[in-house]
């Protein structure tokens, strides 16, 4: 009854921009969620790389409770404590010197695109607005960020797109060299492509991009919206590749489940923003920044990164064993706890059957099963997912 009501209301009154799976989730704890019938699921979607500390982590719950009793919102016309403390924590733990707060990944990328263009103009390069992005990338759903997204399916029906974007294949240094001309101001890239199918950078690719940007005097922007915040085993993915960008964007996992976005940049670049350049009413709101503070402090102090590396390697090994058993598994790719398993056929039915068997997983690019479990996941929980997959695959 309850379940039908929720599904009917949603289908009737909410714009159908998602094709949802037919369960109503009512409760979560750690790596588990429960539906309205009380059925339990192991959650290997993790709110799409948002719930990096699992569901309802006590530190996050406490921070939100405490802050919402004190102050929920005042706008950025005034200083607030949690925002200042979060900025300090982010800057002290990254390459960057300053941060701009907003509310989503798309907004963070919008800010990065605006900053890159403004900085370049202020350096006297008046006609240099072009940004190179990758095919199969994903940067968000606003007009600028669908344009930045190098996938036609996200453009269709929304033309004209924003001028000034060029696409090249991911992992192709020569294509970048060819695409750069005197109008180029920046390269925008995900260190690992998430929505595009969990595509990892080949050795020295990101270092190569850094070198090219330095040689041409253009900016390197890393979109770490999906892979930041511990997902790859370091707080930020760039640390694991020995490359520092000029600008980095964050969102998904940053505040443990409440909406936030952030754009970080090094000093010389970020100084192109001055009062009036850019803004966000909710950006850096006290409740979300208090939640983000609790999230990052917990990631840094509780062995979360170590767990991500250890369980990530274990999971990868187990999935690779499945690949040896089942020839229809084309490839297993990933780092830390973002792992993709590419199949030779559409993965939609696998996702549904996993759900029936009490495991939530996701599929991207049609054929790539994507695993984004909370970073607190255990080997025992991985074993359970492997058993379910093995059992299902053996019936194909
Ligand atoms: C999810 C995602 C975005 C968009 O974030 P929203 O919060 O949905 O706007 C941008 N970039 C990457 C890499 C993402 O995974």
- pTM given for the model: 0.98
The pLDDT value recorded for residue 184 is: 98
Residue 252: active-site member:
yes
Question: How does pLDDT run across 107-120, given as a tens digit for each residue?
Answer: 999 999 999 999 99
Buried b (16+ CB within 10 A) or exposed e, 322-355: ebeeeeebeebbbbbbbbbbbbeeebeebbeebb
Q: Is 32 a residue whose pLDDT tops 80?
A: yes
- pLDDT over threshold 80, residue 19: yes
Q: Which residue from 379, 357, 354, 388 is spatially nearest to 45, judged by alpha carbons?
A: 354
- Say whether pLDDT at 1 is over 70: no
Q: Per-residue pLDDT tens for 181-237?
A: 999 999 999 999 999 999 999 999 999 999 999 999 999 999 999 999 999 999 999
Alpha helical stretches, state H, the chain: 2-13, 46-49, 58-70, 81-92, 105-122, 143-148, 173-179, 205-216, 267-270, 286-301, 304-325, 348-356, 379-393
Contact 131, 187 (CB under 8 A): yes
Our mutation pick for probing the ligand 1 site, out of 226, 259, 365, counting the most ligand atoms within 8 A of Cβ, is: 226
Ligand 1: residue of 198, 251, 372 to mutate (most ligand atoms within 8 A of CB) is 251
Q: Which of 274, 252, 231 is nearest to 109 (CA)?
A: 252
For ligand 1, the distance from its centroid to the CA atom of residue 243, given in whole angstroms, is: 21
Which ligand 1 atom sits nearest the alpha carbon of residue 193? 13
154 CB within 6 A, ligand 1: no
Q: Looking at residues 232-254, what average pLDDT do you find? A: 98
**C-beta of residue 53 within 8 angstroms of C-beta of residue 374:** yes
Torsion, Cα 265 269 271 277, to 10 degrees, reads -90
C-alpha of residue 369 to centroid of ligand 1, in Å: 18
Contacts of residue 355, defined as CB under 8 A and 6 or more positions apart, other chains included, come to 21, 23, 41
**Which whole number is the average pLDDT over 254-266?**
98
Asked if 273 and 112 count as a contact pair (C-beta separation under 8 A), the reply is no
- Counting from 1 in the atom list of ligand 1, the atom nearest the Cα of 259 is 7
Which residue shows structure tokens 């294949």?
A: 169
Candidates 358, 362, 359, 382; CA nearest to 370 is 362
Average model confidence (pLDDT) across the chain? 97
How many CA atoms does the CB half-sphere of 167 hold within 13 Å?
15
Instruction: Grade residue 270 by pLDDT with cuts at 50, 70 and 90.
Output: very high
Q: Which atom of ligand 1 sits closest to the CA of residue 107?
A: 9
Q: Which residue is catalytic, options 43, 95, 165, 223?
A: 223
Measured from the Cα of 104, ligand 1's closest atom is: 7
**Cβ of 195 less than 6 Å from ligand 1:** yes
Is any atom of ligand 1 closer than 6 Å to the C-beta of 194?
yes
Say whether pLDDT at 2 is over 90: no
Does residue 223 have an active-site annotation?
A: yes
Q: How many angstroms from the chain centroid is the CA of residue 311?
A: 20
- pLDDT above 90 for 175: yes
């Amino acid at each position: 009854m309850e379940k039908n009501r929720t599904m009917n209301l949603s289908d009737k009154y909410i714009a159908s921009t998602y094709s949802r799976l037919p369960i109503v989730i009512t409760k979560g704890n750690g790596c588990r969620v429960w539906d309205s019938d009380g059925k339990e699921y192991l959650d290997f979607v993790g709110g799409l790389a948002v719930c990096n500390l699992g569901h309802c982590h006590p530190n996050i719950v406490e921070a939100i409770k405490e802050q919402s009793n004190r102050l929920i919102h005042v706008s950025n016309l005034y200083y607030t404590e949690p925002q200042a403390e979060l900025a300090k924590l982010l800057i002290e733990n990254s390459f960057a010197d300053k941060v701009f707060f907003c509310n989503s990944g798309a907004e963070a990328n919008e800010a990065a695109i605006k900053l890159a263009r403004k900085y370049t103009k202020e350096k006297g390069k008046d006609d240099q607005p072009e940004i190179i992005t990758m095919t199969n990338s994903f940067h968000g759903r606003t007009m600028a960020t669908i344009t930045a997204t190098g996938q036609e399916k996200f453009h269709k029906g929304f033309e004209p797109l924003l001028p000034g974007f060029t696409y090249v294949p991911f992992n192709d240094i020569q294509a970048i060299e060819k695409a750069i001309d005197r109008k180029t101001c920046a390269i925008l890239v995900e260190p690992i492509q998430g929505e595009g199918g969990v595509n990892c950078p080949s050795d020295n690719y990101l270092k190569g991009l850094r070198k090219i940007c330095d040689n041409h005097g253009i900016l390197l922007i890393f979109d770490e919206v999906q892979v930041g915040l511990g997902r790859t085993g370091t707080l930020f993915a760039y640390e694991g590749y020995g490359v520092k960008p000029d600008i980095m964007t964050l969102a998904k996992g940053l505040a443990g489940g409440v909406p936030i976005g952030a754009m970080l940049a090094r000093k010389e670049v970020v100084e192109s923003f001055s009062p009036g350049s850019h803004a966000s009413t909710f950006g850096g709101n006290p409740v979300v920044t208090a939640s983000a503070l609790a999230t990052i402090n917990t990631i840094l102090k509780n062995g979360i990164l170590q767990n991500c590396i250890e369980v990530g390697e274990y999971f990868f090994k187990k999935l690779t064993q499945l690949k040896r058993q089942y020839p229809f598994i084309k490839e297993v790719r990933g780092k830390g706890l973002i792992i993709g398993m590419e199949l030779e056929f559409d993965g939609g039915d696998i996702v549904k059957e996993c759900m029936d068997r009490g495991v939530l997983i996701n599929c991207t690019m049609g054929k790539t099963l994507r695993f984004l479990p909370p970073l607190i996941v255990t080997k025992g929980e991985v074993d359970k997912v492997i058993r379910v997959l093995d059992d299902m695959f053996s019936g194909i």
